[in-house]
């Protein structure tokens, strides 16, 4: 699914002291089957706009041949929402066991299959969980396991697009690396389009095909992996340690490549020290 934002704005409390511009005249294109990273405040609204829970204040969103505007009629909203899975920044579960939770999500999105249990097991396996989790109490799972269950719930109805709102928050480095590999697998093997909304730039390292930097709703800078060494973004975002270190080494007169992978950086240092 190709996603196009055309002069897209979403503003609340317009023209008064409490006005907040979530998105301000944004133009961008997200190609199908890509992973994109979005950095900035209040970008969680994008999931609500894509699923028509909220409507644009101005402009439009084009999803293939479907147009979302302030006043357009969407013939099959449920069908649209089935195509776009949104991971919330806080996990909410309605059922007690893993199996019942995923089954409930499938029912909510009217996903039908002959063997529900097998389909749930397959969804769990996609995120690295075995069928031993089927009857586990969700409240007894670890923080990371709960994230896996919510992700498996989204995958159970097979959306084309997955929107991840601050998915990495609270995860240790090892788990962040695990999910990075998982998201790349979902992109490469299942051709999912993944929108990653995060507050730290280094979460996008080795993951995003393209990164978009926002400030007060405006799109400031966009680009591929070279963007992390673009000084234009650092009045707005905190510079990742690996970028800070590399720039420091370069400033001392040493030639060093602009890495975003710490392992590759270490290899470079060993080769040249």
pLDDT at residue 253, as a whole number: 85
Closest CA to 83 of 61, 111, 56: 111
Q: What is the pTM of this model?
A: 0.93
CA distance 42 to 3: 19
Closest CA to 37 of 215, 268, 201: 201
* Fold of the domain spanning 1-75+173-178+192-236: Rossmann fold (3.40.50)
Q: Are 97 and 104 in contact (CB under 8 A)?
A: no
Residue 91 in this model has a pLDDT that exceeds 80: no
Q: Which residues does 218 contact at the CB level (< 8 Å), separation at least 6?
A: 21, 24, 25, 26
Rounded mean pLDDT, 7-20: 89
Residue 218: pLDDT band by 50, 70, 90 thresholds?
very high
pLDDT at residue 225, as a whole number: 87
Render pLDDT for 250-266 as a digit per residue (tens, 0 to 9).
Answer: 888 888 888 888 888 88
Residue 109: pLDDT band by 50, 70, 90 thresholds?
very high
Rounded mean pLDDT, 100-106: 95
CA distance 88 to 197: 11
pLDDT at residue 89, as a whole number: 64
Within 13 Å and on the Cβ side, how many CA atoms surround 52? 20
CA distance 78 to 75: 9
In the chain, helix, strand, coil percent, each to 5?
40, 25, 35
Render pLDDT for 111-161 as a digit per residue (tens, 0 to 9).
Answer: 989 999 999 999 999 999 999 999 999 999 999 999 999 999 999 999 999
Residue 201 in this model has a pLDDT that exceeds 80: yes
What residue ranges in the chain does DSSP mark as E strands? 3-12, 20-30, 35-39, 58-63, 66-68, 84-87, 161-165, 193-198, 210-215, 218-223
Three-state secondary structure call for residue 20: strand
In degrees rounded to 5, what are phi and psi of residue 118?
Answer: -60, -40
Residue 229 in this model has a pLDDT that exceeds 90: yes
Residue 57: pLDDT band by 50, 70, 90 thresholds?
very high
Return the exposure string of 83-111: e unless at least 16 CB atoms fall within 10 Å of the residue's CB, then b.
bbbbbeeeeebeeebbbbbbbebbeebeb
What ranges do the domains of the chain cover? 1-75+173-178+192-236, 240-273
């Amino acid at each position: 699914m190709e996603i196009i934002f055309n002069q897209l704005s979403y503003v609340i409390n317009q023209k008064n002291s409490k006005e907040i511009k979530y998105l301000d005249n944004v133009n961008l294109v997200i190609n199908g089957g890509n992973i994109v990273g979005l950095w900035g405040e209040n970008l969680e609204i994008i999931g609500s706009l894509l699923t028509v829970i909220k409507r644009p204040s101005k402009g439009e969103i084009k999803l293939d041949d479907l147009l979302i505007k302030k006043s357009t009629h969407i013939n099959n909203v449920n069908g649209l929402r089935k195509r776009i899975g949104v991971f919330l920044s806080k996990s909410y579960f309605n059922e007690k066991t893993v199996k019942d939770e995923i089954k409930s999500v499938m029912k909510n999105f009217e996903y039908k299959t002959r063997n529900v249990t097998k389909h749930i097991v397959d969804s769990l396996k996609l995120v690295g969980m075995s069928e031993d989790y089927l009857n586990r109490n969700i409240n007894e799972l670890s923080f990371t396991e709960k994230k896996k269950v919510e992700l498996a719930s989204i995958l159970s109805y097979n959306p084309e697009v997955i929107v991840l709102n601050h998915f990495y928050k609270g995860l240790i480095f090892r788990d962040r690396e695990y999910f990075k590999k998982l998201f790349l697998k979902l992109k490469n093997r299942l051709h999912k389009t993944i929108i990653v909304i995060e507050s730290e730039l280094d979460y996008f390292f080795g993951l995003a095909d393209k990164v978009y930097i926002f400030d007060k709703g405006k799109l400031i800078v966009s680009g591929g992996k070279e963007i992390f060494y673009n000084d234009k973004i650092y009045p707005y975002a905190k510079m990742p340690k690996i970028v800070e270190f590399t720039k420091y080494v370069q400033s001392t007169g040493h030639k060093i490549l602009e890495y975003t992978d710490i392992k590759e950086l270490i290899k470079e240092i060993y080769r040249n020290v």
